[in-house]
Chains A and B, each alone.
Chain A
């Protein structure tokens, strides 16, 4: 029964692919390639240097942006959760600008920091900052008071309390937000490259679209899908490794 249940989604996927392939055999519009064609083009592209150059260019933008934004978000979020004056100063600005789409700042960043990679890394960092800041802040605020009291009672210094009590209780929420900000970093990277770039997967899909190279469009699509999925698995793996004491969170 368990095996049947596990193979159910796989069967559904195979059924969808089979219907798609059959439909393609009967004739689909030019811009919808069949699964077999997509696989063939993707395998072909894997043998070219062009694809790896674009992957590298994209990752060289998204990963530094993700790292800078998440680090600043975690550091400032922890500070805002711990120090009241800091929270009073920073939180209103952060929560006010939280629902604002950060990507609209890209053209302004491009004018200020140049049209190259710096403006893209900074916009990705800005987008990644918010979820991590907010989760780090709430993570600190959710620390159980009774744990802080007992630490105080046993003579712990404020630095010790922060390191041994506050940080471990905020860590699961910070790790959860890293999953969100990694996904966000890929989205913003892709958007920035579609708007303006000379390399990268987003630029590849735009050029493919402009020149009606549907094969390249799907290659870029499959690559970004694999990268997004792999990145997400890595963050989840790191989560379960680093925070082994914590019960796995539901979905």
Chain B
């Protein structure tokens, strides 16, 4: 049974690949629309042998991580202040919860005029979209710090900065990472979308460029690269989380 359990997902993925290949070779659809696996993997190989393609990956990663890092720095700070100060929370909470469901993507055309059509407008939009999950989760965490821990720290004469450093921040870290896990895929989504809408470089642009030249094989190869990046970044966040928060294992994480 154990063996069967292990093998089942592989069987599922294997069957899907075989069906794909059979459909591609059946001649029912044009290979332009439905390329065989062989062609897709050849394009994928080109991706790693040509420096131009590696540069495209670098451009997209820099935009995603730059915006994410900015959002993390500002978001953690804002979240902790909002969680610990009622005044700041009353001031900013309605702002964040009111505009939470509004697609910030609609600001992109205006950002292009303000920050230019280059990387800056994309980084700014990634920052804005990533800020929400990080601030909301950090604030929720900082608000729910165990009272008993705060009282005992005060009782033992800890200063305000010591309480912040030794009690509030460690107690908030799991929530910060929960925010990160939402924000990292969002960063990838926003980078790809903005590059698809208005750009001349990056992976999102490569997808649109391949589509315009009806190179479905190359398009799928770029999609596989983007998928692998998204997966790897998520894994990296989980690894970092387990390193930093060794006292609390992430039990809701599967795979």
Query: Nearest B residue to A86 by beta-carbon distance?
Result: B8
Q: Does A229 contact B (CB under 8 A)?
A: yes
Q: Give the size of the chain B interface in residues (CB under 8 angstroms).
A: 61
What residues of A have a CB within 8 angstroms of the CB of B100 in the complex?
183, 232
Find chain A residues with CB under 8 A from B24 CB. Answer: none
Closest Cβ of chain B to A9, distance in Å, is 4
In the complex with contacts A195-B208, A251-B97, A187-B223 CB distance below 8 A: no
Q: Which of B112, B189, B216 contacts A103 (CB 8 A)?
A: B189
- The residues of B that contact A195 with a CB separation of less than 8 Å are 193, 196-197, 208
Q: Are B12's CB and A90's CB within 8 A?
A: yes
Tell whether A251 pairs with B226 under 8 Å between CB atoms, given A9-B95, A88-B5, A107-B211: no
Q: Is the interface of A mostly helix, strand, loop or mixed?
A: helix
- Chain A residues lying within 8 Å of B208, measured Cβ to Cβ, are 107, 195
Q: Does B227 contact A (CB under 8 A)?
A: yes
Residue among A100, A231, A232 having the largest count of chain B Cβ atoms under 10 Å: A100
CB of A245 within 8 A of chain B?
A: no
Q: How many of chain A's residues have a CB under 8 angstroms from any CB in B?
A: 59
Closest-CB distance, B244 to chain A (whole angstroms): 20
Q: Say if the beta carbon of A244 comes within 8 Å of chain B.
A: no
Within 8 Å by CB of B103, from A96, A190, A209, lies: A190
Q: DSSP class of B's interface residues: helix, strand, loop or mixed?
A: helix
Docked pose: A2 CA to B76 CA in angstroms = 28
Stretch of A49-57, A68-76, A162-170, A219-227 at the chain-chain interface: A219-227
Please name all residues of chain B whose beta carbon is closer than 8 Å to the beta carbon of A102 when the two chains form the complex.
Answer: 189
Say whether A92 contacts B255, CB under 8 Å. Answer: yes
Knowing that A138-B252, A190-B106, A228-B101 are A-B contacts, what are 20 other residue pairs whose CB atoms are under 8 Å apart, sorted by A's residue number?
A: A9-B95, A31-B114, A89-B8, A89-B12, A95-B254, A99-B233, A99-B234, A101-B226, A103-B189, A103-B193, A105-B223, A108-B219, A111-B211, A194-B197, A205-B106, A217-B110, A225-B103, A229-B99, A232-B100, A251-B140
What are some 22 contacts across the A-B interface (CB < 8 A)? A9-B93, A12-B95, A13-B95, A88-B9, A92-B9, A98-B185, A99-B230, A99-B231, A99-B233, A103-B192, A104-B226, A108-B219, A111-B214, A179-B101, A190-B103, A194-B193, A202-B106, A217-B110, A221-B107, A221-B110, A229-B98, A251-B140
Chain A residues with a Cβ under 8 A of chain B: 5, 8-9, 12-13, 29, 31-32, 85, 88-93, 95-108, 110-112, 138, 179, 182-183, 186-187, 190-191, 194-195, 201-202, 205-206, 208-209, 217, 220-221, 224-225, 228-229, 231-232, 250-251
Q: Report B's interface with A, CB cutoff 8 A.
A: 5, 8-9, 11-13, 33-34, 90-95, 97-103, 105-110, 112-114, 136, 139-140, 184-185, 188-189, 192-193, 196-197, 204, 207-208, 210-211, 214, 216, 219-220, 222-223, 226-227, 230-231, 233-234, 252, 254-255
